Chains A and B, each alone.
Chain A
Amino acid sequence: MAVSRDDVRHVAALARLDVAESRLPELVAQLNGILSHMDALAKVKTTGVMATAGVGDAAMPLRADIGPPIPLLHPLESFAPQMRDGFLLVPRLATHESAADESDE
């Protein structure tokens, strides 16, 4: 399963990364080099073997649906990029992507 330039473009878009065309050959070669070592897994018989998503003997314990207090040393305003009236300000959603729309966020 060789990785192509289109594959890299596709996963970069999924991962919200803007990979320059000039970097594609190197990334394609590196990903193919790495994935060639993963082919060893295909030869391992795993019929009937459960997939391990996590380790440990017990299932994830559930706690009461009460948030323990997480002491914040600094108020939210000190680390949020922008706030107004107690709300976090974030860029507008994609449906309002023009620069003009963003000016009145």
Chain B
Amino acid sequence: MSAVAHVRDAFARMAEVDAGPTGLNCILWTDEERALADAASVDAAATHGELAGVPFVAKDNIATTHLQTTCGSRILEGYVSPYEATVITRLRDAGAVLVGKSNCDEFAMGSSNEFSAWGPVLNPVDRTRVPGGSSGGSAATVAAGIVRIALGSETGGSVRQPASYCGIVGVKPTYGRVSRFGLVAFASSLDQVGVFGTTVHDAALGLEVIAGRDALDATSADCPVDRYSTAGTADLKGVVIGRPREYFPATLDPRVAARCEAALDLLRARGAEVRDVSLPHTDLAIPVYYIIAPAEASSNLARFDGVRYGLRVPANGLREMYESTRTRGFGPEVTRRILLGTYVLSAGYYDAYYKKAQEVRTLIAQDFRAVFDAGVHLLFTPTTPTPAFEFGAKSDPYEMYLNDIFTATANLAGVPAISVPIGDIDGLPIGGQLIARHFDEQTMFRGAFALEAARAGAR
């Protein structure tokens, strides 16, 4: 099939599932004519990259030169970047074709996609439920069968959590594995670009194309990139998988626990040794995360002031213009997090909150290092405490933040993690998470391939 045919199929599927604002609302911006022209160029090329003709979408916080990049926010309405994110360039160089930008929680702050200025995304599995967030638009686009590969971003679980809720694969690479040039910054010590895939192979292929050192991002690591798409092996002999007890508390939904135990049985059957381990500071991850991330966000989002980007609300003088623009441009969750972040950084509270959170973050990272140094290759946990919930079910901000309880630790420690479907509960998908040592995505994908294959064999 030609690239043009693949792209035509993607747009036909968008129409079929009603991907726009009257339906799933997962796709915000498209340019079909341009996408078809790009596809025609791929077809006409003398050589073909490993993703030749594969349509993909990118989250609305990743810079693209022909489609808007609004971060799901009024404050960037109409903004088109003059440069392209490195991850987009690398996918396009491999022959993939950008067919749209996907909806997300405003500035990637949210776990349900209810906080986009462009309205919520519906979960394709059950349209009465959230798709997860913040990269819910990308997850829904893959789950709806529009594309096989989509880009999202991760700060505390924003790829893995929606992957779990939508029944697809979502991977967050090691901090530094993928260039962030062109990713709009939320919390710079945590942010990473992640990849969704219909299968583990799709996610692996997408990641191996975008990974690697980039001269335009000083935080990208100069570290060899393996062929993740070939990481699958017949068995898991010699692989030790840790089952951290803190991720299986007595309060965990027993149906989620049962799906996880069944997945662990499948991994054992493939030859893995499963060991009980402890990550004792896990319960502190959410307090730490919700101090550090808002603190960094309050600084990063200071640039949106009406001077350089997007919205400007005229007012009487500079300060009033700043305040009018930011007050009208930011939605309620972003406003709340900027206030929270500014508070924990302010004089008198810095040591008690921000510095303390940074110290406890060290303890959380040490937990991971200790289990990996003790011979454990992978950790297996639930991705989320529950399946997707209904719209409006979580009105208390902290209750919403607890959705990230099993995912935020990997961001705080900087280690790679992947969510793979492990079953469903009353028809709603649920994911299991594999976490690996820094820059050991290859072993992580080996485990993910094995789990996926074992589940397929067991059905």
Contacts and interface: CB of A to CB of B under 8 A. Distances in A.
Nearest to A62: B218
B83 A70 contact: yes
Contact of A79 (B79, B219, B319, B355): B79
A1 B358 CA distance: 19
Interface residues of A, number: 62
Interface string A71-83: 1111110111100
A74 B82 contact: yes
B326 interface: yes
Given A15-B298, A55-B414, A97-B318, A68 B216 contact: yes
Contact of B221 (A19, A58, A74, A98): A58
A81 to B, nearest CB: 6
Contact of B82 (A3, A37, A57, A76): A76
B340 A15 contact: no
Contacts of A19: 327, 335, 339
Contacts of A74: 65, 80, 82
Interface in A1-36: 1, 3, 7-8, 10-12, 14-19, 27, 30-31, 33-35
B218 A68 contact: no
A29 B160 CA distance: 30
B343 A3 contact: yes
Contact of A34 (B82, B219, B321, B398): B398
Interface string B308-320: 1100100011110
A73 B69 CA distance: 14
Contacts of B326: 15-18
A16 to B, nearest CB: 4
Interface string B155-178: 000000000000000000001100
A40 B290 CA distance: 13
A12 B312 contact: no
Contacts of A42: 352, 356
B373 to A, nearest CB: 13
Given A11-B346, A74-B82, A79-B82, A16 B175 contact: no
Q: Tell which of A11, A57, A97 has the most Cβ of chain B within 10 Å.
A: A11
A84 B175 CA distance: 41
Nearest to A63: B218
Given A31-B339, A56-B221, A46 B360 contact: yes
23 contacts: A11-B342, A15-B302, A17-B323, A18-B327, A30-B336, A33-B397, A35-B340, A38-B287, A38-B357, A40-B287, A41-B360, A42-B352, A44-B356, A46-B360, A46-B362, A49-B360, A51-B358, A56-B221, A58-B221, A70-B83, A72-B83, A79-B80, A88-B308
